[in-house]
Amino acid sequence: MLPFLDEMTLEVIGVHRLRSGYKPLSEIGRVQRSELRFWSAQEKQEWTAQKEALLELEAWLETHENTGAFTGHLSKISDPREILQRLSGDQTLEESDFFLLKRFLFHAAEILGSLARLHAELGHQERALKTLMAELHPEPEPSARFVLSDTLDKRLAHARTQRKHARKNSQEIRKTLESQILESNSGRFDAHGFWRPGPDSKPDPRLTNESGVWRLVDPALNKAEEELRDAELHLEAIEFEVREKLASILRPHAHALGEALEVVTQFDHRWALIRLKNDIQGTWPTWSDSEERLKASRAVDFESKPLDLEFSQLAIIAGPNMGGKSTVLKAWGLAHWCLHHLFPVPADEAVLRPVSHIIYVGSESAEMTDGLSSFGREISRLVHWWGASPPALWLLDEVARGTHPDEGAAIATEILDNLAADGHLVVCATHFPEVAQHQSGQAWRVAGLPESDVVERAMAGAAEPLEALKELMDFNLIPNPQHEVPRDARVVAKALGLKLKTRSNA
């Protein structure tokens, strides 16, 4: 089964660059960046509901003054999914697990509390999370910190006191013994309590060598350390019981915690999209069953000049070298990707039809196939995608230009005929006059450069020829009823500094 699009098309139309600006703030949001939801042509109703939710949140955030608080809570909230799975599976939770859950509960409750001003029902989730926080860790003021509080079980305080006294007793006995040995012997005790003999060390019955390590041995110390171990085991047993009790409190709420996580993650995702839309000065796509148009469309570099595009099923674009034909294809392809992923489009308006696939075939292919020329790679790509279900969006960038011009033009024309007959959407950039004269397609051309003498005067002495040429170029698409193909390669070459000794008749 063919994918919606492949890595080559993703790269060429600029999806990766656009997605680099999509930056969820939460840990789980960053993990899920590579798992974007795809909306098929059959999911228009659900897509529309999601877009309405985006618009609602966007409007609300415009009136919300303290978005910095959202940034803080989202950046600090933990990802509890693995812990919730273990909780649902009746597995034992460690104290570190409760620390992460408490951090999630605190920051999620703060976010839900703010969002409750937009959706009142979220207030119930906020209160439920705060109730759970209080049961996990009773404290005067809610916080993200967690400890197994003595208030959870009265035995905890007693066991901790016992351990404290046992540790103190063990440390005092050890310290006394070490001081006595050091008074009469050369050497030292390291941080682990092992004896490091000096050059003049003498035998001492309280020091014994076990496997090359000198240890301190004394009946009183042995008894104190055994009491300490017993106190620690007793405390561990009580703490285990308390953790089991807390887990039993949380377990019935695992599903509700998962729902709260979904709300927070969805908010993080939508807010990241809204920030991206503002950054690129874009617009939300509009799902259409028939119309297709972009107003003030920009390519993914966000630096190209805005263009208005409105294509039918088959659009053929002729134009000069460096006239932006490939940029048009990229912008059109990227906009359709945005539609299917509900991403902002770098344009002022984007009305688009859903498609089954987005397929780029052309000169910007980064894919190399051993033993094949550029023409061979294009044909290989066409063969691979030829069985795509309609309506796929085919972006053909000067296809078949790598072979004999007559044959290339004939092959390109037949490709257009076949794709259009099968119900696909095609945007084709070309220099072939035969392709530009295709009678079934919508004919466009890039307005291009002014007269050659105007170009030569403007380029004379230009410090940056390429930038000067871009300034002269009119990138706008205009109807091309005469199916003309501009012949200005010489003008471009000369403007860029190519000096030819002879000039053949054009």
| pLDDT, position 41 | 95
How far are the Cα atoms of 5, 25, 109, 268, 418 from residue 115, in angstroms, in the given order?
A: 36, 16, 10, 12, 52
Q: What is the chain's mean pLDDT, rounded?
A: 91
Bridge-based pairing state of the strands 425-430 and 314-318: parallel
| pLDDT, position 365 | 60
Which pair of structure tokens corresponds to residue 13?
């139309």
3-state secondary structure (DSSP) of residue 111:
helix
3-state secondary structure (DSSP) of residue 506:
coil
Place of tokens 């939460």: 26
Angle in degrees, CA 10, 13, 19, rounded to 5: 65
Handedness of CA 401, 405, 407, 410 (dihedral sign): positive
CATH number of this structure's domain 283-495: 3.40.50.300
| pLDDT, position 197 | 92
Burial status of residue 455 (CB atoms within 10 A of its CB: 0-12, 13-18, 19 or more): buried
276-292 as b/e: b if 16+ CB within 10 A = bbeebebbbbebeeeeb
Quick count: other Cβ atoms within 10 Å of Cβ 376? 13
Q: Are 504 and 473 in contact (CB under 8 A)?
A: no
Place of tokens 């920030």: 275
Q: Are 87 and 93 in contact (CB under 8 A)?
A: yes
25-59 residue pLDDT tens: 999 999 888 889 999 999 999 999 999 999 999 99
Beta strands in 334-389 (DSSP E): 349-352, 358-362
Which pair of structure tokens corresponds to residue 178?
């070490």
- Start and end residues for every CATH 3.40.50.300 domain found in the chain: 283-495
Backbone angles phi, psi at 341, to 5 degrees: -120, 10
Share of the chain above pLDDT 70, in %: 96
Question: Which H/E stretch holds residue 167?
Answer: helix 154-184
pLDDT in tens, the chain (506 residues): 899 999 999 999 999 999 999 999 999 999 888 889 999 999 999 999 999 999 999 999 998 878 889 999 999 999 999 999 999 888 889 999 999 999 999 999 999 999 999 999 999 999 999 999 999 998 889 999 999 999 999 999 999 999 999 999 999 999 999 999 999 898 999 999 999 999 888 889 999 999 889 999 999 999 999 999 999 999 999 999 999 999 999 999 999 999 999 999 999 999 999 999 999 999 999 999 989 999 999 876 656 678 899 998 999 999 888 888 888 999 999 999 999 999 999 999 999 999 999 999 997 764 555 667 888 889 999 999 999 999 999 999 999 888 888 999 999 999 999 999 999 999 999 999 999 998 888 999 988 888 877 877 877 777 887 888 888 888 888 888 888 887 878 778 877 778 877 655 44
Handedness of CA 91, 94, 97, 99 (dihedral sign): positive
Among candidates 38, 22, 94, which has minimal Cα distance to 246?
Answer: 94
- CA-to-CA distance for 388 and 9, rounded, in angstroms? 15
Place of tokens 């953790």: 243
129-166 as b/e: b if 16+ CB within 10 A = bbebbeebbeeeebebebebebebbebbeebbebbeeb
Place of tokens 């390109």: 412
Rg (CA), the chain: 36
Q: Are 114 and 70 in contact (CB under 8 A)?
A: yes
Q: Are 276 and 19 in contact (CB under 8 A)?
A: no
Among candidates 18, 7, 13, which has minimal Cα distance to 367?
Answer: 7
Count of residues making up the chain: 506
Which pair of structure tokens corresponds to residue 411?
């092959």
Q: Are 392 and 357 in contact (CB under 8 A)?
A: yes
- CA-to-CA distance for 163 and 157, rounded, in angstroms? 10
Query: pTM of the predicted model, to two decimals?
Result: 0.86
| pLDDT, position 322 | 80
Q: What is the DSSP letter of 253?
A: G
Rounded to a whole number, what is the largest CA-CA distance in the chain? 110
3-state secondary structure (DSSP) of residue 28:
helix
Quick count: other Cβ atoms within 10 Å of Cβ 294? 27
How far are the Cα atoms of 45, 49, 55, 70 from residue 52, in angstroms, in the given order?
A: 11, 5, 5, 21
Bridge-based pairing state of the strands 393-397 and 425-430: parallel
